[in-house]
Amino acid sequence: MKSLPPSCEQCFEQFKIALEDLRLFVGQENAKTKSVNHSRELITDFEVTHELALKVIKTYLKNQGKGPFSGSRDLTIEAFHADLIDDGKGWLDMVIDRIKYNPIYDLNTQKNFLDNICHKYIQLLEKFEDTMEKKLY
């Protein structure tokens, strides 16, 4: 038996849980010496949170009769046009940083990515949470 796809509200609840985990991790990242394993875990938490944000956006836009979308860039652009996000460039930077990130490389080369997660992307995700909270409830 097929299960129903999750509603936008269900996706949003999953996103909020992941964002809270990311907030805690970013707090730990800022409070202690950065280890390689800790940095990898931070990046993984960020990627999960970003994927869930994209899932919320996709579900919301689908309910509005929009889509399908060919990828995260198109979805991000449409989210900007639909006023779900207010910093389209920042969100596209998130997509590009995720594409560029490759765990095979020495994590010292990923310092910029980690800094963006801790100082820029977390704020964009929090702003998205506030916006969607208002749109859904």
Q: Token pair of 36, please?
A: 């390689």
What does each of the 137 residues of the chain score in pLDDT, given as a tens digit? 666 778 999 999 999 999 999 999 888 766 555 566 778 889 999 999 999 999 999 999 999 999 889 999 999 999 999 999 999 999 999 998 888 876 665 555 578 888 999 999 999 999 999 999 999 98
7 phi-psi bin (left φ>0, alpha ψ -120 to 50, beta other)? beta
Q: What predicted TM-score, i.e. pTM, was given to this entire model?
A: 0.89
Domain ranges of the chain: 8-136
Encode 18-57: b = buried (16+ Cβ within 10 Å), e = exposed: bbeebeebbeebeeeeeeeeebeebbebbbbbbebbbbbb
Give the fold, CATH level 3, of 8-136.
Four Helix Bundle (Hemerythrin (Met), subunit A) (1.20.120)
How many whole angstroms separate alpha carbon 48 and alpha carbon 30? 20
Secondary structure percentages of the chain, helix, strand, coil, to 5: 75, 0, 25
How many whole angstroms separate alpha carbon 96 and alpha carbon 117? 13
